[in-house]
Amino acid sequence: MPKEMTVKIVKSLDADTADAVLKELNMAIDEGALKVTCDFSSTDYISSIGIGVIMSAFKRLKKSGGELVIGSPKPRVVEVFQTTGLAKLFSL
């Protein structure tokens, strides 16, 4: 059974927080998680840099047959994923 982990995403995923979030996502993947759920329940804002962080983790997981799940996104976050066309890659 694949190892699952949840990473709580910060209130604002942008240039100031991107490195810390990427580090946490990479740590989950390095620990063997094949399904990582990004808990967006507290996130009000995601910038293009934040999208890059999510895509980086998505690509790493996909290479190993894993998946990245966008969990509990607020409408504003859903809108960003829809606007960028990335909603097709994730179940929101």
As for how many domains the chain has, the answer is: 1
Helix 18-30 to helix 48-63 angle, to the nearest 10 degrees? 10
Q: How far apart are CA 79 and CA 47, in angstroms?
A: 12
Residue 17 domain boundaries: 4-88
pTM summary value: 0.93
- Residue 1 pLDDT: 52
Q: How far apart are CA 13 and CA 35, in angstroms?
A: 20
When the pLDDT of each residue in the chain is averaged and rounded to a whole number, the result is 95
Residue pLDDT, tens place only, 51-67: 999 999 999 999 999 99
Q: Residue 68: which CATH number? A: 3.30.750.24
Residue pLDDT, tens place only, 5-28: 999 999 999 999 999 999 999 999
